[in-house]
């Protein structure tokens, strides 16, 4: 059999060009993902060198509230990737422009609403932290400036998705890295050089967000041939698909956030050391996500392109290619965690009690990548297919019928119950979406 023939039962013999295409999309996104935590470290270091600890406390709380809103609004990126990829596959340049304008509108509207609701955001952040007057003042000052970047920040989520769908991930990587470097340099200049403190860090982030926005919009308009907006694209009959897709993915994101919030707060009820250890262990999940998310981005773009081209055979071939790389990366992560788990923990904390307690939970970290990679992969597949309802239903099912029941049944095990529930939840997400995918393929309903 030729190496270029599609074989549904093997991965190694698939077309090598498909492997190259997937990695060409995935690797720039992995590198781009790595720069974001580094930026957060720079901002934390700058604020951490100010005169009082309440500056860092207030900024951390304010950032968390804003970041959570942006995370929930991740539906903008997901829907943009799938729809943009399908437009590319169909060869319809006008469809690509339509997706851009249809998703730019809700991003800007939500951003403007955040500006109008900044007083409410300050109240929520202050109440959440049970903040002192000094911390509350820092929260007010930071949000009062940072919120003005919300329209650009939310639009940037959509713009990343659109460019990924068009397979321009090198452009995304360059824009993101340059924007993050600009942010870091401006933070140093404004916060330290001009003495603006927390306000300087917030202002630097706003400038960087609008810089990324301008550069990204320029690239999108250039790729679409500078097409203008067509008001007919916003008729309800045309716009309904976008609205329904965004609604379904929003509900999916809220359910996922519920499980992570429960893991955090229930851990806090088990004690200060437990919640601290869980925060350390979740860093392994974050590290894993940096790679698996990159593979998922590639799968989203290629599956969406195949759907747009109405080529179900190619689509399935690309799913298998994604599975090969996702599984390979998961095995590599697990091996690294088995060998270097205690060393990584030592880098994260020098507190002996936390190091000792974390040893009881390291087996969960060893198997986590191999259990979790299925849900990253299948999320990518269904984003490419733009089947938001399936993603919503799977997430709700796994949250309500797997995560919480599994935690309740094992709650006598303390923190072990939380990790058993979380790992079961991750695996169930991949299995449930995989089951739906197999059913769609049998019924020839992928296209």
Give the per-residue pLDDT at 14.
54
pLDDT at residue 13 greater than cutoff 60: no
Q: pLDDT per residue over 408-423, tens digit each?
A: 999 999 999 999 999 9
Q: Coil, strand, or helix at residue 10?
A: coil
Give the whole-angstrom CA distance, residue 168 versus residue 174: 10
- By the 8 A CB rule, do 151 and 64 touch? no
Give the whole-angstrom CA distance, residue 426 versus residue 447: 27
Give the per-residue pLDDT at 334.
97
Give the per-residue pLDDT at 196.
87
Structure tokens at 403: 């995560």
In terms of pLDDT, which residue wins out, 61 or 52?
61
Q: pLDDT per residue over 261-292, tens digit each?
A: 898 888 878 887 887 888 888 888 988 998 99
Give the per-residue pLDDT at 9.
44
pLDDT at residue 8 greater than cutoff 50: no
Q: 424: alpha, beta or left, given left = phi > 0 and alpha = psi -120 to 50?
A: alpha
- By the 8 A CB rule, do 425 and 399 touch? yes
pLDDT at residue 2 greater than cutoff 80: no
Region of poorest pLDDT, from 48-52, 150-154, 181-185, 269-273: 48-52
Structure tokens at 353: 């009690």
pLDDT at residue 180 greater than cutoff 50: yes
Tokens 């270091």 identify what position?
A: 45
Going by the DSSP 8-state scheme, the letter that residue 125 receives in this structure is H
What pTM was computed for the model?
0.91
Q: What number is the average pLDDT over the span 213-229?
A: 95
Q: What number is the average pLDDT over the span 239-265?
A: 92
Give the per-residue pLDDT at 131.
61
The domains of the chain are located at: 12-234, 237-447
């Amino acid at each position: 059999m030729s190496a270029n023939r599609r074989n549904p039962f093997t991965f190694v013999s698939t077309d090598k060009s498909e492997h190259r295409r997937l990695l060409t999309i995935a690797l720039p996104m992995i590198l781009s993902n790595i720069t974001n935590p580094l930026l957060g470290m720079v901002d934390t270091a700058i604020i951490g060198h100010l005169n009082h600890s309440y500056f860092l406390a207030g900024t951390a709380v304010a950032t968390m509230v804003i970041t959570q809103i942006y995370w929930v609004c991740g539906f903008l990126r997901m829907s943009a990737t799938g729809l943009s990829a399908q437009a590319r596959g169909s060869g319809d340049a006008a469809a690509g422009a339509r997706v851009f304008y249809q998703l730019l509108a809700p991003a800007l509207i939500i951003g403007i609403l955040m500006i109008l609701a900044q007083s409410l955001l300050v109240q929520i952040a202050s109440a959440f932290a049970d903040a002192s007057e000094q911390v509350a003042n820092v929260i007010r000052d930071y949000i009062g400036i940072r919120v003005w970047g919300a329209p650009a920040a939310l639009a940037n989520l959509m713009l990343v998705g659109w460019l990924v769908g068009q397979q321009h991930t090198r452009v995304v990587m360059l824009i993101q890295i340059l924007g993050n470097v600009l942010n870091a340099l401006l933070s140093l200049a404004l916060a330290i050089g001009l003495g603006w403190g927390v306000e300087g860090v917030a202002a630097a982030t706003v400038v960087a967000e609008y810089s990324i926005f301008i550069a990204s919009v320029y690239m999108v308009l250039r790729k679409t041939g500078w097409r203008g907006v067509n008001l007919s694209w916003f008729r309800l009959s045309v716009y309904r698909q976008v609205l329904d897709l965004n609604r379904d993915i929003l509900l999916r994101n809220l359910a996922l956030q519920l499980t992570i919030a429960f893991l955090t707060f229930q851990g806090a009820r088990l004690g200060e050391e437990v919640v601290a250890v869980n925060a350390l262990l979740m860093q392994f999940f974050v590290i894993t996500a940096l790679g698996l998310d990159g593979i998922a981005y590639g799968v989203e773009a290629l599956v969406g392109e195949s759907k747009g081209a109405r080529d179900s055979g190619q689509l399935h071939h690309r799913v298998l290619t994604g599975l090969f790389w996702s599984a390979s990366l998961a095995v590599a992560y697990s091996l690294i965690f088995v060998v270097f788990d205690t060393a990584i923990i030592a880098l994260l904390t020098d507190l002996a009690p936390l190091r000792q307690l974390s040893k009881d939970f390291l087996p969960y970290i060893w198997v986590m990548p191999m259990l979790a990679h299925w849900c990253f992969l299948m999320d990518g597949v269904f984003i490419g297919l733009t089947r938001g309802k399936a993603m919503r239903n799977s997430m709700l099912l796994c949250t309500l019928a797997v995560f919480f029941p599994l935690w309740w049944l094992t709650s006598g095990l303390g923190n072990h119950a939380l990790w058993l529930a979380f790992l079961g939840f991750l695996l169930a997400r991949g299995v449930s979406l995989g089951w739906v995918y197999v059913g769609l393929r049998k019924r020839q309903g992928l296209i």
